[in-house]
Amino acid sequence: MTAFATIEDYLASLPESQRQITDELLPLIEKALPGTGAVWHGHPVWSLGPAPGKSPVCYIKAYSSYVTFGFWRGREITDPSGRLEPGARAMASVKLRALSDVDADLFTTWLDQARDLEGATGD
């Protein structure tokens, strides 16, 4: 596995189709969780704690045919769309295979809820 020093390094390593997806996600994440991202366990993670892995909120992880956008406490997020798929423990995520899979309004709602679950206040 390649070690990435920064989120930008990780994203730059992705195929163009996946970079398009992450280019849409990144501004949404940064608006909800400004300056809190880091590479943790090989992929980008946004946390509210003082270091990666302390109060993690969300992550991006690329696979061969999709990008996962996930939340540590995703099962607690209200999701009337039904797009969040339950994962291990309290986690949930969505698989993004095309740029059209990114729903800015929906994902912003999820991000705000996820941030608030960790006790932060947003704008």
pLDDT in tens, 11-66: 999 999 999 999 999 999 999 999 999 999 999 999 987 666 678 999 999 999 99
Task: State what percent of residues in the chain have pLDDT above 70.
Answer: 93
The whole-model pTM stands at: 0.91
Under the banding of pLDDT at 50, 70 and 90, the label for residue 3 is: confident
Q: Which of 63, 59, 55 is nearest to 40 (CA)?
A: 59
Task: State what percent of residues in the chain have pLDDT above 90.
Answer: 85
- What is the per-residue pLDDT across 56-73, written as a single tens digit (0 to 9) for each? 999 999 999 999 999 999
Residue 44 and residue 33 in contact, taking contact as beta carbons nearer than 8 Å: no
Under the banding of pLDDT at 50, 70 and 90, the label for residue 119 is: confident
d(CA 51, CA 75): 23
pLDDT of residue 52: 61
